[in-house]
Every structure is written in structure tokens, then in C-alpha cells.
Chains A and B, each alone.
Chain A
Amino acid sequence: MSFTEAMLSSLSRWSGGVKTSIGFVLVAICCLFVADLEISSIDPWAEMWRLADGLFHPSLMQSSLVLEALLSTLAFAFAGVALAVVGGFLLALMFHNAFVRGFCALVRSIHELFWALIFLQFFGLHPLTGLLAIAIPYSGIFARMYAEMLAQVPMLPARTLPSGTGYLNTLLYTRLPLAWPHLVSYTSYRLECGIRSSAILGFVGLPTLGYYLESSFSQGYYSEVAALLMLFYLLIATKKIWLRRWTLPALFLGSPFFLGDGMPIVWGNAWRFISEDIIPAPLRNSEAGGQWESLSKLSQWTSDIMFNQALPGIWNTLVLSQIALVVTGLCALIMFPLISRYCYSLPGRMPGYVLLVIARSTPEYLLAYILLQLLGPSMLPAVIALAIHNGALIGYLSGRHSNELVLRSDLPKRRLDRYFYELLPRIYPSFLSFMLYRWEVIMRETAILGILGIHTLGFFVDSAIQEIRFDVALVLILTAALLNIAVDMFSRRIQRYI
């Protein structure tokens, strides 16, 4: 039997999960050939030295401002997530409706930062901007996950209820309590994501930690950056301590009071945004000229956006995210044993926990910028930044899952044996499904890495907004959303296949 035949016959024996993984790796390898991954930096060390020096000498210049920022980071996260929980739950109840499903897919496929940029036009610098920028995409995410969880509860308790019990009663007394533990644990995980999102919204001007982080970082005040980051890590790492059942009401009720007051909303602006700003330019200025003329202008306008921005944007986004996805997977598989109780004793796991908290809480944007200094502009910094951030997150989830496993007591002595024979085969299916969920997220996150000179869709969206061309921005945002929806559908199909 020749080697190829042997390969082919073993291919048919592999499980769907392994085949899927191999498929992804092959696609990523193909992408490597067309991706721009050049290392072109010449002498990064001076700036790196300044950075390292700053990181080891953290200092806070204005602690009162930072405290305020910390509070509003939490406030936006809690208020936004709370709204999203309510909204997402109601949508989850209607999730059997195709329109609702489509709506949820659309709102969650648009990145928080894009929502914030849209609402900045609506409300300006008003708390509602940040609140809705979190609440809307999170509602879409909650709706889907809640609907899945509610659908997976055992049917029997609802069946034993007397006939005529009614939808609401059945929900309240059986489905909801049965799904409750899953709902709570997912919501708590999302709350952590909410804190990250809320911090990052500072990048576009909301008064959260990201505001100061970006300001200090862009000026090269690395001591302040270090202090802010450490505060942020501390906040995430101690979540278990301050996020308790009995602190929740206070946190949720208190949050609206720390959102800040911002500027008054002028409702005319919202109307203008809808009725003027997002109308394609050729239609907006077409008082004169015939219908045909404006139509041909419109088609010109559309094809300009398609060929110069949308298509290159889609291409770069896809190439970048496919490579990043596979590298993310590798990172996660390397990192998860660091926090697994089957690999290290508790003290030995501590550095792993710290590493994972740091890696998953550092905004990709900062990581990418640091790597940009080191490696020069190309897709490489973006790939590594996405892989570190998402790899740590999936590594954390997989590690937590491995700790829930109950393994036989006569485990192989060597760690490597344990890893390959006991842990990896067991966690691989759930690892794969985390990855498939993350695929869409990674694609969305390539959005904010436009600074690297990579022309992803996000780069063009940002350009359009900087040029006050909201019609173009909206077309591109919707393009990105459709791309995400397509990926999401594809990933779910793969998940079923596995």
C-alpha cells in the first residue's frame, strides 16, 4: 500500500472533529502564502526599553480621575449587561421566530465599537451611547445562548404540569429554574466580557478606563499605562471576590449613577442621522438631474465602495482571521495545561492563572501596537495579538473544563503522556466548539486592528467615519455584519457535522 493510500484510508477513519481541524489548518496554510507577514522593523529596542521601563515602574498621575474611570467602566458594564439580560431574555422567548433570529444575528455581528461610533452620531457623548453600544450586541448574544439553554432543559417537568397551565407559568416554574445554573454561569462570564467591552469603549471617547489607557499609551506614558492595566487585571482577577449574589443588587442598582451625565441629547440629530446621513450620497444631492442620472450615480457609488473598499476589506479580513484562528487554537492548547489540576499542583498553577488573566484582559489593540513596534507593519502583529488574547480565553475555558473531568487515579506519571492520552482527547470536542464560537468573534475583532496598515473592513469603516461619510460607513458595517453572519452559519453547520 502506497503512502498516499495509507493517508487516504486513515482520513476516512478520523473523526469529524479531527477532519475539521485539519481542514482549518490547511486553509490557514494556504492563507499564509497570500498574507503579508513580513518582519520589517529596524530598531525597536529604544521604544521597547521605554515600554519595559514603564511597565516596571507603574505610576498613577491622577488617581481621582482613574477612580472615576474605574467606576464608570464597571457602571457601563453592569448597566449595559443588565439591559442586555432583559432584552436578550425577551428575545430568547421569541427565538423560534425567523425574523427575531435574523435580527439577533445582525445586531450581534456588529462590533461594540461600531455601535458606539453609530450612537455617537445619535446621542453624542451621552451615557446612552455607551450603554446601548454594550446592551444591543449583548442582547443578540444573550438571546441566542439563552434560547439554546432554555431549549435544552428536560421536557418532563413541563409535561407533568396540569393542562391549561399556560406559557408564562410553565416558563417560570419549570424551564427557567431548570436552565438557571447555565444561565447564571453564562451571564457571569459575559459580565467579564462586558467589563472588557466597557473599558475598550473608552477608545472612542466614553469616560471608561480605555479613554485614559489610549491617551497615555499614545503619548508613550508607559508608567501610567502599566498602572491602568494592572488595575484592570486586578479588577478582572478578583471578580470572584466582589461579584457575589449579595453584591449583585447593589452593583446593578448603583450602576446608573456612575455613568456620568455627558451632553444633552438633541433628538433632531438622531432624526438627521436616519433621514440624511445614512442616505447614499448620490441620492441625497439629487434635486436636479433625472432619475436615470441619479441611478447611474448610485451604481457608480456602490461599485466604488464594493471594489475599492468592501472586497479588499473582506479578503484581508478573511485571510487574517483564518490564520489568527489557527494560531489561537495552538496557543490555547499550549496554555490550558498551565491551569489544569491534572498537570500542576495549586501553587504551580498560580503563574498560569496570572498569565491567562493578563493575556485575556489586555485589549488586542494594545498588544498589536506593541508588536507593531517590534515587528513592523504587516498582518503579523495582528495575528499574534489576536492569538494571544483569544488563545488565553479559550485556554482558560478549556483548562476550567479539564478541571471538571474526573480521571482515574492511576494516571500516567509523565505530564506529556497525561496531556496527550488523558486530557487532550477528552477536552478536544469542547475545545473545538469554543473555537467555532470564537471564529466569528475573531473576525469581528480584526475590525479594530486597522491601525496596523492592514486594510481589513474595520479600517475602511473607521476611515469613512473619520471622513464623516456615514452612508459609506453603514454600507461597510453591514457588509462586515453579513460576513459575520455567514461565518456564524457556516460554523454552526460544522458544529452539527462534528
Chain B
Amino acid sequence: MSGTPDISHSDLRPPPRPRMRFALSDPRFRGLVWQVAILGLVGFVGWFLVRTTNINLDHRHIATGFGFLDRVAGIPITETLVPYDPGKDVYGRAILIGILNTLRVAVIGIVLATLLGTVIGIGRLSPNWLLAKLTAGYVETLRDIPLLLQLLFWYTLLQGLPPPKQAFQIGESFFLSNRGIKYPWPVWTPELGWTLMAVAIGIVVTLIWRRQARSIHNATGRRLAVWPVGVGAILIAPTALFIAFGAPLTFDVPALRGFNFVGGGLLGPELGALLTGLVIYSSSYIAEIVRAGIEAVPKGQWEAGGALGLRRGILLRRIVIPQALRVIVPPLTSQYLNLVKNSSLAIAIGYQDIVSVASTTFSQTGQAIEGILIIMLVYLAFSLSISLFMNWYNARITLVER
């Protein structure tokens, strides 16, 4: 560890490694003994746990393995992204739906929490004293109350809304009741699909054109406008196609039938409460990250940009935000991971995410170990993919040292 003199002459060969002596006075031998002892202990404890578990499972007549995934589930799931029939579909599909539900909350939650957190974080830096104090109070209060309490509170609040018969009507066809928010949803037709496809192609065309324009600009100094191509490819062409198809857009509008609504899309109170709670709670953490990131940009950078005569928008976009992002992205990554892990609290308010579906599964089948293993693997996969993506993004935006 120490004591080796710093030799920088290249003609000196490193001293030959002394042979390991089998005595406790040799640090390397001692290290080996420690490792063998600790690994042996851990291995023994692991072996003991597995053995007793197997004995216990035998006594309770529980078979191990993932065979139960092929059995009919019979778990009713209210909010699904893909078709699901509790009478016919198997546990494997129910768990897939749980995973998709977790993904849905995670994606919507991350987007909304980032937007809200950024607004609050910038608000904290406002020269306006009232706005700065108010946003500071928001951050302080929400961070100091457990998320689970907030979730339960929002859920109770949403359940306290009037029943569908006395639902609040917002605009023409939005209804807010204790069954959630009903909203009109477009009826799917192949023509609609083609139109959306045209929009996607338009985006790709615009991106390619932007690259082209940039390389022309770099090579010749000639500036080519990007926006006309964008408007044409993304807006005008799909609209023309849409009209050519005869404007095939009809909405499935919710309507009150008996005691409940039929038709339209539904944002259930469980998902609503979960998203509200998660977004508000996470935004208070993201706000602090954003604030710290912007504060980390030295004032001289603002002043230098101003001295160059840059407008405020360009100054922010080209100078301040790129530098702030380098500070923001690493803690933001762990905040996103927290949000995904926190979405597991869904089980407390009855939103059927992966934890909820898997726990119903293991209480019905008795396959507790497999169920918990599935939960853990799913979250590890989420965590790993978010880390990988954010690391890639972080590598992209880090300072290119020249």
C-alpha cells in the first residue's frame, strides 16, 4: 500500500514480486484468508437459507418454479393498455399488464415532474421576493411529508368527488366524478393511422434536412432555413392527406348511461391520485436540482454572453442551460430512479402496477419467492435502463475538453 518509492526512470524494471508466504504476517496471504472466510460465511448462510426454504416449501406443498405463469389468472384489472380478459388470460399476461402500467406511470410522471420541477426551480431563483419565498415554501413542505401520506390524501380527495350522475362537466364532453376523468377519445381508423405515419415521416424528413442544412452552413457559410421544410412536412402534408381521406376523425364521446359513463377514455382515480402525488412530490426534489444547477453557472458566463450582445433566449439556450445541464443530469438521474421506485406505492391506493399484480399473484398461488423475484427483476431492469440512457445522455452533453 505504501512505501514503494516513486520511480519514474523507464530503464528500471519493477522489482520482482515476492512470493506469497503462507503466514499471517504476509498481507496478501491475510487478504486471501479474509476473503475465503467471508465468502465461506456468506455461502454457508445462503446454503442454510435455501435448504430451510426448500424444507418449508415441501411441508407446505408449494412447488417452486415459474409454471404458474401459464395458468389462468382471474385477477380483474381495471386499467389496461393492452386487451386483457381475467377469465381467459394467464398470470404471465397479467404481470405484463402490471409492467406496462408501471411504465405508463413512470413515463408520464417523469415528464410532468420534470416540467413542474423546472418551473418551480426557476421560480426559486426569481428576483421577485414573493415568488422565490412561495416556491421555497412549496419545496420545503412537500419534501417533509411522506409520499404515501400524500398519495392517500389525494386518493381520498378524488374519491370524495360526486358520483357519475352529478359529475362535474368541463367543456362539452369532459366529466370529472369519483370514477375518474372521462374524456373523448378518437375512434381508430386505418386512415388515421396513415395520417399519423405521415406526421412521423415528416419529422424524420425535417431532421434529415436540418442535418443537411447544418453541414451546408458549416461548409459554405450559407444559412438555409429549416422551419419551412418542417411546417411543410410535419403540418401541411399530413393535413392534406387527412383531408384527402375525407377527414376520418370521429370521437368516442362519453355519455351517462344509468349509473356510469360509457364510451370515451378514462383516467381512473387511482392513476390520477398516483400521478398527482408522484409528480408533486418528485417536482419538489427536481426543483432543488434545477436551482442548484443554474446557480452553479458562474455569473461571468451571463455577463460574457450579454457582452457579446446575445439576446436572453439565445443566452439561456446556448450558454447557461448547456452548462447547467452538466450539473443537473447526474442527480436528476437518481431522482428519476426514485420516481420509478416510488411508483410502487401504487399498491396502497389500488392502482394495478407490477407490485400490485405480482402481490395478488403470489397471494393467490402461494408462489411468494417467484413473485418477489419478478418484482425485483423488473425494477432492476428499469433502474438499469434509466441509468444507461442517462449515462449516454450525460456523456453527450459533458464538456468536450480541447
Physical interaction between A and B: no
Residues of B near any A CB (own CB < 8 A): none
Residues of A near any B CB (own CB < 8 A): none
